[in-house]
């Protein structure tokens, strides 16, 4: 902590107050945000608190902090800052985000946080409003960058969904495309029958051959985080039934039915039984079929064939019954290339978003402890 910063009780920096009741039957459409423990829920014709303000959850969602620029109505599930004691409101909002609210919840035996407990927390902060405003401005710029990336990412995802709806149904043909689209059962375009991994629990090791569970199928990609590993001998044994290779589709057939990923690596790995392996024949594009599994037509069929047990599952024979609408090979490849380019843009933005969030987190650690000074 910088030597010319001060330590104080949170209650002397920001006095917290419980929000106000507002039953749904009394809410009237208006311009003032209603702030809950999860953020802005809707808008009301009347405000209870002058902006700018800071709100956090008292019950329900605990730990999120919201900075509200305009006048607002904080609900009774929240705590809002009633008095900033001449401190910068936006700086206070970032300061509150450094507090572990979970650590201070339920101290009286009642779930949630008590403002009196929070008021006793010792905090450290700059003594001048100029430095508070500088810190708040820098962090606000970081938030604006994060928000802009989030908005662009959401737009790219929407564009991809729209493109899939048009291109995977034949509603929009690519220039120069000829030939008919034909609805075929999946089994008619397979190189080998649909199979799956072992129906036993192998001995897991700290290192070895990656062994994927359905949890490793995330966001239509293979997620190599939180991997389990098996021995080479077990891998060789399992490969007699199922050996994934580049171009295969991995499909969640149990627990998380409908998850899909395309194998785009030559890395040796194996899969557990909740994952089905789908290998498309050479007359069709695996990438096109991969994107078809993300389209509404196949997703509706999958939902209809999924067993409604507690975990849900779909049999391999039912997977082979799925009907896929396919154009000639050249058009399949062109459509897949377009969607692959859109995916690449999304992946790039996702990486930028992670980096921007990490940068902001680092800035908060430096700026809110005085290790880096702005003024």
For 128-172+329-375, CATH gives 1.10.287.1120
Is 318's pLDDT higher than 70?
yes
Is 134's pLDDT higher than 60?
yes
Tell me: the pLDDT tens digits for 140-196?
999 999 999 999 999 999 999 999 999 998 888 999 888 999 999 999 999 999 999
For residue 161, how many other CB atoms are within 10 A of its CB?
14
Question: Residue 112 has what pLDDT?
Answer: 83
Residues 304-319 have a mean pLDDT of 82
Which whole-number Å values give the CA distances from 330 to 179, 255, 362, in the listed order? 10, 35, 48
Residues 234-256 have a mean pLDDT of 94
Tell me: the pLDDT tens digits for 193-236?
999 999 999 999 999 999 999 999 999 999 988 899 999 999 99
Tokens read off for 26:
């009394």
For 182-326, CATH gives 3.90.220.20
Tell the burial category of 363 from Cβ atoms under 10 Å away from its Cβ (0-12, 13-18, 19+): middle
Nearest to residue 259, comparing CAs of 242, 240, 278, 239? 278
- Considering the chain, what percentage of its residues have pLDDT values greater than 90? 84
Tell the burial category of 154 from Cβ atoms under 10 Å away from its Cβ (0-12, 13-18, 19+): exposed
- Considering the chain, what percentage of its residues have pLDDT values greater than 70? 96
Question: Residue 309 has what pLDDT?
Answer: 58
Is 109's pLDDT higher than 60?
no
For 5-127, CATH gives 3.90.220.20
CB neighbour list of residue 193: distance below 8 Å, 6 or more residues apart = 187, 316, 320
Q: Where in the chain is the domain with CATH 3.90.220.20?
A: 5-127, 182-326
Distance CA 306, CA 321 (A): 12
- 110 within 8 A of 7, measured Cβ to Cβ: no
Q: Would you place residue 1 in the very low, low, confident or very high pLDDT band (cuts 50, 70, 90)?
A: low
Tell me: the pLDDT tens digits for 252-308?
999 889 999 999 999 999 999 999 999 999 999 999 999 999 999 999 999 999 876
Distance CA 81, CA 119 (A): 11
Q: Where in the chain is the domain with CATH 1.10.287.1120?
A: 128-172+329-375
Calculate Rg over the CA atoms of the chain. 27
Instruction: Work out the mean pLDDT of the chain and round it to a whole number.
Output: 93
Is 32's pLDDT higher than 80?
yes
Residues 47-58 have a mean pLDDT of 96
Q: Which residue has the higher pLDDT, 136 or 310?
A: 136
Helices of type H across the chain:
10-13, 89-96, 115-119, 129-167, 232-239, 286-292, 296-305, 316-321, 329-367
Residues 315-338 have a mean pLDDT of 96
């Amino acid at each position: 902590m910088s030597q010319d910063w001060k330590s104080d009780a949170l209650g002397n920096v920001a006095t917290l107050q419980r929000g106000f009741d507002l039953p749904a039957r009394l809410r009237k459409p208006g311009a003032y945000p209603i702030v809950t423990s999860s953020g802005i829920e809707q808008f009301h014709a009347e405000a209870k608190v002058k902006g700018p303000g800071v709100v956090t959850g008292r019950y329900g969602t605990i730990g999120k902090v919201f900075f509200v620029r305009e006048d607002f109505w904080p609900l009774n599930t929240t705590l809002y800052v009633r008095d900033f004691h001449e401190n910068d409101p936006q700086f206070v909002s970032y300061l509150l985000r450094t507090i572990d609210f979970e650590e201070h919840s339920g101290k009286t035996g009642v779930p949630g946080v008590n403002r009196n407990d929070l008021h006793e927390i010792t905090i450290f902060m700059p003594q001048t409003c100029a430095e508070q405003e500088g810190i708040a401005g820098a962090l606000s710029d970081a938030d604006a960058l994060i928000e802009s990336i989030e908005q662009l990412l959401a737009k790219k995802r929407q564009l991809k969904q729209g493109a899939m709806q048009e291109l995977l149904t034949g509603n929009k043909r690519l220039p120069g495309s000829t030939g008919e689209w034909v609805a075929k059962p999946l089994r008619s375009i397979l190189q080998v029958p649909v199979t799956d991994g072992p129906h036993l629990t192998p001995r897991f090791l700290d290192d070895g051959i990656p062994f994927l569970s359905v949890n490793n199928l995330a966001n239509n990609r293979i997620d190599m985080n939180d991997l389990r590993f098996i021995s080479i001998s077990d891998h060789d044994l399992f490969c007699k039934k199922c050996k994934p290779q580049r171009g295969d589709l991995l499909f969640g057939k149990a627990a998380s039915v409908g998850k899909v990923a395309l194998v785009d690596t030559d890395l040796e790995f194996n899969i557990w039984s909740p994952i089905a392996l789908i290998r498309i024949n050479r007359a069709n594009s695996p990438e096109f079929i991969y994107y078809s599994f993300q389209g509404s037509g196949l997703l509706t069929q999958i939902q209809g064939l999924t067993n409604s047990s507690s975990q849900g599952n779909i049999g391999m024979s039912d997977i082979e019954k799925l009907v896929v609408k396919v154009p000639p090979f050249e058009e399949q490849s062109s459509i897949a290339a377009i969607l692959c380019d859109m995916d690449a843009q999304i992946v790039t933005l996702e990486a930028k978003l992670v980096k921007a969030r990490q940068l902001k987190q680092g800035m908060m650690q430096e700026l809110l402890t005085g290790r880096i000074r702005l003024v």
